[in-house]
Structure 1
Amino acid sequence: MAEILVVEDDPEMGALVERGLRGEGHTVTLVTDGVAALVAARTQAFDAAAIDVMLPEMTGFEVCRRLREMGQDLPVVLVTARDAVDDRVFGLDSGADDYLTKPFAIAELNARLRAHLRRRAAGTPTVVEAGAVRLDTVAVRATVRGRDLPLSVKEFSLLRFLVQGVGTVRSRTEVLDEVWGSAEHFDPTIVDQYVSYVRKKLQAADADVAIRTVRGVGYALDVVAAP
């Protein structure tokens, strides 16, 4: 089973989540604020984290961002009562792998953590390439002909999935399952939004790849003639 970091300032909710995760056989470290979460992450190796967004002094968004800056690549599920699309996008751009809206069933949190841990255990190649685009999955760094391609964590994950299956059409459901961890709990239009973001950045970098829309199905990455 896994070592899970839980960051929750509400005592009742924290106890509920801790009990539910322990019931799955996980070892749980429960802290109540962002500073304590960062300290714990520096001194202990965790396999995944569930972080409340509305924390005192430092939001869950900031905790997630700082974890990524520290080089922590563990799956992070943000937990919050805020369910606006902008909030979800902001959370994912902060480096979160998933976003769970309160109220939720502990079984759902367990299921999402299992899915993320399973994918992490399967592993991904250290470097993937298509044309002049090179993605370092360890450093989470993208380059085009050696020049940095600035991408958010979710944009990087989306491009990585398309590069790994270059020429293969990926449905929105497949993208949601792979990049967002669930096709059930996210609006498929979020895929279209992120494809648009990545397309613009590839075009600005004069990349020799392009994301092709397959109407009614999904998207594929093609290597094209250099501009």
Structure 2
Amino acid sequence: MTAPNRRGLLIILSSPSGAGKSTLAGRLRQWDNDLAFSVSATTRAPRPGEVDGEHYRFIPEATFKAHVADGEMLEHAHVFGNFYGSPKGPVSKAIESGCDVLFDIDWQGAQQIRNSDLGQHTLSIFILPPSITELHRRLVNRAQDSADVIDKRMRKSWDEISRWDSYDYVLVNDDLDETEAQLKTIISATRLRREQQPQLNDHVRTLQTQFEELT
């Protein structure tokens, strides 16, 4: 679904853990094969089964810091002793070719991207759970974390939820199919924003020339 006559979007999805963000991101990529997922860079060592360039871009800390100093990271953070960030180069190339890039990041990363020189092409969406009880139930039912980790995720969730009003759109994920449909509507409409269609300037100039020829 690549559209060379438009610029791509930087689509940011954020939510507390368990609200359905990863599932929705996967559905969006199935909906549009040209929707790329931003591969973060990190200074931590690869875990078993992780592939460089697919799961993360694994780079030395000195290299990471140099990229930050040179403005080559759209956003970055220091988490549990390691650095994580989104390289700017691949994202810029993708959006200029008309492809959208999907980011699964927190509110701090979202804020950094919105404040970058690519901020005008950003679409930020926050996913809320229908209730705290339901959020806890989902974390327990996915059986991926220990009780201690689930407790930590729940304690962190309110800090994330409290940032909801800094996003362009906020959706309550009470029904996965309905939320998916809403996401598609939002993305489809935002792709038509004036700043995403650079060819409009040439088209309007052509119309002006045609009008002057008739008068």
- TM-score class, shorter: 0.3 to 0.5
Q: Highest Rg: 1 or 2?
A: 2
Greater fraction strand: 1
Higher relative contact order (CA 8 A, sep 6+): 2
Task: Normalising by structure 2, report the TM-score.
Answer: 0.37
Greater fraction helix: 2
Task: Normalising by structure 1, report the TM-score.
Answer: 0.36
